[in-house]
Amino acid sequence: MGLMRHVVCAMSGGVDSSVAALLLKRRGYNVTGVFMKNWDSLDESGVCSTERDCEDAYRVCQILDIPFHQVSYVKEYWHDVFSQLLKEYEKGRTPNPDILCNKHIKFNHFHKYAMHTLGAQAMATGHYARSSQEDEEVFQQAHASPPATLFRDRFEIRNTVKLCKGADLVKDQTFFLSQISQDALRQTLFPLAGLTKEFVKKMAAEAGFHHVLKKKEYLEPNPGNFVSIEDGTVKGTHKGWFTLTLGQRARIGGQKDAWFVVDKDIVTGDVFVAPTTNHPALFRDTARTERFHWIAGDPPAELVRTQMMECQFRFIHQMPLVPCAVTLNMDGSVWISLSRPVRALTPGQFAVLYKGDDCLGSGKIIQLGPSEHTLQKGRERLVASQNQKDEPTPEPAS
Architecture of the structural domain at 224-277: Roll (2.30)
Architecture of the structural domain at 283-374: Beta Barrel (2.40)
Strand, coil or helix: 34: strand
Per-residue pLDDT tens for 292-322?
Answer: 999 999 999 999 999 899 999 999 999 999 9
pLDDT category at 41 given cuts 50, 70, 90 is: low
**DSSP sequence for 228-246:** ETTT--EEEEESBGGG--T
pTM for this predicted structure: 0.83
Distance (Å) of CA 93 to CA 98, 246, 350: 15, 10, 11
Q: What is the CATH number that goes with domain 6-141+158-207?
A: 3.40.50.620
Bridge partners of 188, per DSSP, are 123
Distance (Å) of CA 162 to CA 157, 315, 394: 16, 20, 70
pLDDT of 211: 52
Q: Where are the domains of the chain?
A: 6-141+158-207, 224-277, 283-374
Query: In this predicted model, which residue has the larger pLDDT, 268 or 24?
Result: 24
Query: In this predicted model, which residue has the larger pLDDT, 49 or 157?
Result: 49
Per-residue pLDDT, averaged over 252-273, amounts to 87
DSSP 298: S
Bridge partners of 225, per DSSP, are 237
Per-residue pLDDT, averaged over 341-353, amounts to 95
**DSSP sequence for 247-272:** TSEE--TT--S-EEEEEE-TTT--EE
28-42, 147-161, 364-378: segment of lowest average pLDDT: 147-161
Name residue 248's amino acid: Q
Per-residue pLDDT, averaged over 147-153, amounts to 51
Query: In this predicted model, which residue has the larger pLDDT, 142 or 64?
Result: 64
Work out the number of other CB atoms within 10 angstroms of the CB of residue 116: 9
What average pLDDT does the chain have?
Answer: 88
Alpha carbons 165 and 174: distance in angstroms, whole number: 6
Q: Up-side HSE of residue 262: CA atoms within 13 Å toward CB?
A: 26
pLDDT of 45: 54
Helices (H), the chain: 15-26, 49-64, 74-77, 83-90, 97-101, 110-112, 135-143, 182-186, 197-207, 301-306, 372-390
pLDDT of 267: 74
Q: Is the pLDDT of residue 34 over 90?
A: yes
